[in-house]
Amino acid sequence: MSGHSKWATIKHKKGALDAKRGKIFTRLIKEITIAARAGGGDPDGNPRLRTAIAAAKAENMPADNIKRGIQRGTGEIPGLQYEEISFEGYGPGGVAVIVDCTTDNRNRAVSEIRHAFSKNGGNLGEPNSVRFMFSKKGVIAIAKEAANEEQLMNIVLEAGGDDLNDEGENWEIITEPSAYEAVAQAVKDAKIETVMSEVTMIASTYTKLEGATAAQMLRLLDALEDHDDVQNVYSNFDMDANQLEEIAG
């Protein structure tokens, strides 16, 4: 994926989510609850919970909300029992899509995610039909004016990052998931502001779409992102940045 369209896509996604602030909090609370249930309520011994709490704090979530999310996960206070489900499928133009859900009703989630795909020119696939195209990585993006290449390369080498890429207006640090926390903390300690910082799925190849097919793919992504059970959507979709802004506008 060309750097220009990648960052335009991220900006589009972030703008859509920022417009639904309450939805961000809901997703983060679900992740905190699931993480605490799976690995216990002590973030020092639970890396997934530690990452979830850091993401919640980055969105200025109140400490009481975080505490309650942990307590629901550990069973200290009652709450819904969530189940994690991952869907794989294809969007318009054969684009690969992975959808991670956290739901209290599996049958409803399966039915509604299937409907979102079929209504927007896609279809669900079998497990592992597209996952092989993606790798889990830590990604930390930094605006060019916030830091220089030498400064960031030193952080990558000293903190255990994998690579530093030039992505047009931004630098992009890539890490293994196990090294993400250390590298993210090193960036924070250096007082360098980030454009984005998360563990995500990166595609090995990208499919470029144009015109009506690209517009239909954006509608599918928006439909999935709008669903209450959806935590994350990953795809190998690429399009021209100018067209993306035109459609989004």
Residues 219 and 115 in one domain: yes
Q: How does pLDDT run across 132-182, given as a tens digit for each residue?
A: 999 999 999 999 999 999 999 999 999 999 999 988 888 999 999 989 989
Q: Into how many domains does the chain fold?
A: 3
State the DSSP H helix or E strand holding residue 163, giving kind and residue range, or none if neither: strand 163-167
Residue whose tokens read 């007082």: 191
Q: Is residue 196 part of a domain?
A: yes
Single residue among 54, 74, 94 that ends a domain in this structure? 74
Residues 197 and 142 in one domain: yes
Q: Please tell me the predicted confidence (pLDDT) of residue 2.
A: 33
Q: Is residue 14 part of a domain?
A: yes
Residues 211 and 154 in one domain: no
Residues 193 and 212 in one domain: no
Tell me how far apart the alpha carbons of residues 36 and 34 are, in angstroms, rounded to a whole number. Answer: 6
Q: Please tell me the predicted confidence (pLDDT) of residue 131.
A: 95
Residues 18 and 47 in one domain: yes
CATH assignment of the domain containing 92 = 3.30.70.980
Residues 118 and 213 in one domain: yes
Is residue 181 within 8 Å of 160, Cβ to Cβ?
A: no
Tell me how far apart the alpha carbons of residues 213 and 230 are, in angstroms, rounded to a whole number. Answer: 23
Q: Is residue 247 part of a domain?
A: no
Q: Is residue 241 part of a domain?
A: no
Q: How does pLDDT run across 31-62, given as a tens digit for each residue?
A: 999 999 999 999 999 999 998 998 888 788 99
CATH assignment of the domain containing 30 = 1.10.10.200
| Number of Cβ atoms within 10 Å of the Cβ of 193 | 12
Instruction: Compare 68 and 6 and report the one with higher pLDDT.
Output: 68
Q: How does pLDDT run across 77-127, given as a tens digit for each residue?
A: 987 788 999 999 999 999 999 999 999 999 999 999 999 999 999 999 999
Which residue range is the domain that position 176 belongs to?
A: 133-203
Q: Is residue 244 part of a domain?
A: no
Residues 29 and 65 in one domain: yes
Q: Please tell me the predicted confidence (pLDDT) of residue 195.
A: 85
Instruction: Compare 249 and 179 and report the one with higher pLDDT.
Output: 179
Residues 7 and 69 in one domain: yes
Residues 138 and 226 in one domain: no
- Where do runs of H (alpha helix) occur along the chain? 3-18, 21-39, 47-58, 63-74, 106-119, 149-159, 177-189, 211-226, 241-248
Residue whose tokens read 């030193």: 154
Q: Is residue 42 part of a domain?
A: yes
